[in-house]
Amino acid sequence: MDTAQPDDVIVLEDVWKIFGKREAEALSAARAGIPKPEILSRFDCVVGVAGVNLTVRRREIFCVMGLSGSGKSTLVRHVNRLLEPTAGRVIINGADIMQKSNADLRRLRARDIGMVFQNFGLIPHRTVRENVALPLEIQGASLNQRYSLAEAALARVALSGWGNRLPSELSGGMQQRVGLARALAADPPILLLDEPFSALDPLIRRQLQDEFIQLSRDMGKTTMFITHDLDEAIRVGTRIAIMKDGAIVQVGTAEEIVANPMDDYVADFVANISRLHVVHAHRIMENADKWRARHGARHGDLTDFAPARADMTISDLIDIAAKTDAPIAVHDGDGTTIGIIDKARLLDGIKGDIR
Amino acid sequence: MTERPAESQTELVQRFTGRGGDYYTQVFERIEQTTGWHASFNVVAFLLGPLWLGARALWLAFWVVFMVEIFAVVLVGIGIFGDLGSDDIARADRLTTQAAQRMEAAQKAAAEGSNLAESMHKSAEAIATAAQKAREAAEASRGQAAMFVGIGAALLALVRLLTGIGANALLALRFRQWRSNNSRPSALPLARITGTLLLVGLCYPLAVYRFARSDVPIWLVTFPAATDLRNALSVGIDQGVRWIADSFGGFFAAITGAINAVLNLMETVLVVTPWPIVMTVILTLAWQISGRRVAIFSGSALAYLAFLGFWEKSMATVALLGTAAVLCIAIGVPLGVLCGRRPRVNAALRPVLDFMQTMPAFVYLIPVIAFFGIGKPPGIIATLVFGMPPVIRLTALGIAGVPPAIREAALAYGATPRFLLLKVDLPLALPSIMTGINQTLLMCLSMVVIASLIGAKGLGEEVLSALQYAAVGQGILAGIAILMCAMVLDRIVQGQQK
């Protein structure tokens, strides 16, 4: 991988996608702030993506979360130009892909981007190995290379020995692993996952999520992960973007979104999310100096308190609090006490009253 | 059940019905409250019948009632005005006069003492009996008149009764449709009333007039056709075809040449090569491509052809239709792919394909002869016209049916259009394409008899001559031979798919 390349791997700048014959008129109307239903009735055009700006940094898993019809699958298809934006720029590794020729675009898709689809998109009459080798075949790799790289990719997703089967002989979860292996086969730096685990049952989904997080960490891929499931986004995502009606409502880490939802729409989403594993100590602690001022206690008293690290989750803090009656002292990396969490504060944090 | 405010419901019904709103408000309410069938009788609909239905734009019911009533009116018209039995009476009168003349002649002869008198008398009596019978038949027909009127009137009454009973339910149904979709017709616009009135007012009297009178003007019975126009048109087409044949002679000759090239190759392989080689190759191919069962079947089919002396003709036929099928597939599959990917091309080509399949072969045989003369190449061209549509249609169907998700996945990995076509689209559409090829092969074979009409020799010629001499046995044997050729070819081409 070229380390000289910029750290912002995927950049979307004011991307608009409007479906319909009168897209130009509809675009200017939508930019002027006319709502979607009116654009549909006036121009017979559907606004798929409405002025999205986002940046995916190297090696992060960037989740795009939204309900069906929010435009998230449409959005991800702009990254490899499966869909042409009506307006805006799509920049991959510093190069505007709208400027690329067809051949360059195909090379980009084959070499730099792996994509996984909700309904797998495997070719039914080809064996699993031939499916996995598809990107290599398109790149014109030799038969030997195709075989060995495909086997390696299959081994990564724990499907060694299944290469000669047909996709229809595999279960849904295994088929999606084949899809993942195909995305990894050519070792592209960028992965696009369009609701990869949505069609699977909850147990398999969880298992594949864990495997994927592990793989992505090991291989250092830059990933754009589309999902309609906030739990999944929180488990998998480094950062999460929440989409509504084609536009991005809020971008942030899981903790930022859960602890500090931008508007009612996001608040509704996160209402049912358990804060225990998402919110960290530094967010709910009371500043150590304030605590001292409030209690008039001397510095030394704090040493009796149960110690905790700033990056511990509420769940960890509950474990600590269960073993002691004293408040919890939160330390930073150097061992300095930076904050205090007493019982009342902890309970407020669990309830979500601290923002 | 949702309770709507009474006012708004009443207003809605008023607006929907335009007239008689109060009555319909009550009726609709009762219909909506009743589970199952609510019996009601709409007197206006009963009295006006199709006029009411038309004015209310209940078109389906209108047309049913209209047709039945026309029939009933015609029956009544025939019964009342029709001169039933008038033919019989005229005949009876004629016969009576004839009998009287004969009788007179017989008496005269008897008076003269001729020995013919007896037989003349007998024949006169016979004629008189016939006259009597004709009169009786006329009487019977007269009696039928009452029956006609009876049936007609009963039918009319029944239809009106049903209209009266069903009217409110139909209108309530339309009201419910209209409530959710305001573009459904409602109220009673003047134009609709006049239109219905005109239709009924013109058709009923005209129908009665046509059937009730025997001396109707000729234009009412047969459509006044423009025979001159037809003649002029066909002469024009004749000239056009002749002009094309004269001006593009070279072009048609080139096509004929190309077809001949393929055909000669086929014939060299199948007809000129000694039969043991051809048979061995066919059987081995059948065995290798489609397995043992097809090989055994092919062996018995070939034995049938060979022992009954159809071998040479069969091979000539297979060469002919093989050429046609190869051309069909070579042209049809690419066209089908184009159709499957481009809906506009598909829309444009569809009527052409319909034409090719529906137009009787004899119709396009004529211009084919004009352009290409007679012999084998024009036979192949006629076969092409008939045989190509299935492979185009089914290829298009198969290509259009390739799941978009799979194509998208291939595209996302940088597939070129060629890769997409050869490695994704065609393999996925293959079952459909193979069905198309199967259909095309069979349709090509069914054309061999017609092709033999314009000089394409082979098994078709056998059938044709059997037809000319009404030789049933020979016809059936040759027909089975054609069937055998088709089945062997098809089983080998389809391979192990089944």
| Contact criterion met (CB < 8 Å) for A121 and B427 | no
Closest Cα of chain A to B424: distance in Å?
7
Average pLDDT, chain A: 87
**How many Cβ atoms are within 10 Å of B272's Cβ, its own excluded?**
11
pLDDT of residue A2: 44
Inter-CA distances, A325 with A292, A312, A322, B303, B385, Å: 18, 19, 8, 101, 94
| Contact criterion met (CB < 8 Å) for A138 and B413 | yes
- For A238-274, how does the pLDDT look when each residue is reduced to its tens digit (9 = 90+)? 899 999 989 999 999 988 888 888 888 888 888 877 7
Decide: helix, strand or coil at residue B219: helix
| A108 → chain B, closest CA residue | B414
Of B405, B406, B415, the CB nearest to A138: B415
pLDDT of residue B418: 92
Q: Does A311 score more than 90 pLDDT?
A: no
Please state the φ and ψ torsions of residue B218, each to the nearest 5 degrees: -65, -35
Sequence-distant (≥ 6) Cβ neighbours of residue A305 within 8 angstroms: A326, A327, A328, A329, A340
Task: Collect all residues of chain A within an 8 Å Cβ-Cβ radius of residue B416.
Answer: 106, 138
| Contact criterion met (CB < 8 Å) for A121 and B411 | no
Highest mean pLDDT among A295-304, A332-341, B201-210, B291-300: B291-300
Task: Collect all residues of chain B within an 8 Å Cβ-Cβ radius of residue A117.
Answer: 405, 408-409, 412
| Gap between the Cα atoms of B31 and B13, Å rounded | 13
DSSP A312: -
Mean pLDDT per 10-residue interval, chain B, length 498 residues: 57 85 87 85 90 90 92 86 76 86 85 80 86 85 84 93 91 88 84 91 85 73 84 91 87 88 88 90 90 91 92 89 89 93 92 89 84 85 90 94 93 92 93 91 85 83 87 90 88 72
Instruction: Tell me which residue of A157, A145, A159, A219 sits closest to A188, measured CA to CA.
Output: A219
Of A106, A119, A186, the CB nearest to B405: A119
Q: Which residue has the higher pLDDT, B375 or A3?
A: B375
pLDDT of residue A355: 56
Task: Judge contact between A98 and A81, C-beta under 8 A.
Answer: yes
| Gap between the Cα atoms of A98 and A84, Å rounded | 8
Residue A3: band (very low, low, confident or very high) from pLDDT cuts 50, 70, 90: very low
pLDDT of residue B425: 94
Task: Collect all residues of chain A within an 8 Å Cβ-Cβ radius of residue B413.
Answer: 109-110, 114-115, 134-135, 138, 182, 186
| B413 → chain A, closest CA residue | A110
Suggest the residue from B413, B419, B425, B434 to mutate for an interface test with chain A (most A CBs closer than 10 A): B413
| A82 → chain B, closest CA residue | B412
Q: Does A154 score more than 50 pLDDT?
A: yes
Closest Cα of chain A to B294: distance in Å?
25
Task: Judge contact between B128 and B99, C-beta under 8 A.
Answer: yes
Decide: helix, strand or coil at residue A280: strand
| Contact criterion met (CB < 8 Å) for A123 and B428 | yes
Task: Judge contact between A25 and A43, C-beta under 8 A.
Answer: yes
Does ipTM come in above 0.95?
no
| Contact criterion met (CB < 8 Å) for B413 and A134 | yes
Q: Does A1 score more than 50 pLDDT?
A: no
Of A119, A138, A182, the CB nearest to B414: A138
- For A102-131, how does the pLDDT look when each residue is reduced to its tens digit (9 = 90+)? 999 999 998 999 999 988 899 999 999 999
Burial of B77 (0-12, 13-18, 19+ CB in 10 A): buried
| A179 → chain B, closest CA residue | B409
Instruction: Tell me which residue of B65, B17, B44, B60 sits closest to B200, measured CA to CA.
Output: B65
Suggest the residue from A138, A192, A195, A226 to mutate for an interface test with chain B (most B CBs closer than 10 A): A138
**How many Cβ atoms are within 10 Å of A340's Cβ, its own excluded?**
23
Closest Cα of chain B to A158: distance in Å?
22
H helices within B213-309, ranges in order? 218-221, 227-247, 249-267, 275-290, 292-307
Q: CB pairs below 8 Å between A and B: how many?
A: 61
H helices within A157-280, ranges in order? 172-185, 202-219, 230-236, 254-259, 264-270
Residue A193: band (very low, low, confident or very high) from pLDDT cuts 50, 70, 90: very high
Of B405, B414, B423, the CB nearest to A106: B414
Inter-CA distances, A159 with A17, A74, A143, A164, Å: 38, 31, 20, 11
Task: Judge contact between B489 and B442, C-beta under 8 A.
Answer: no
H helices within chain A, ranges in order? 23-31, 36-43, 72-79, 102-111, 128-132, 134-139, 143-156, 172-185, 202-219, 230-236, 254-259, 264-270, 281-284, 288-295, 314-322, 343-351
Closest Cα of chain A to B267: distance in Å?
37
| B431 → chain A, closest CA residue | A125
| Gap between the Cα atoms of A229 and A63, Å rounded | 10
Tokens of A4: 């000289």
Task: Judge contact between B493 and B287, C-beta under 8 A.
Answer: no
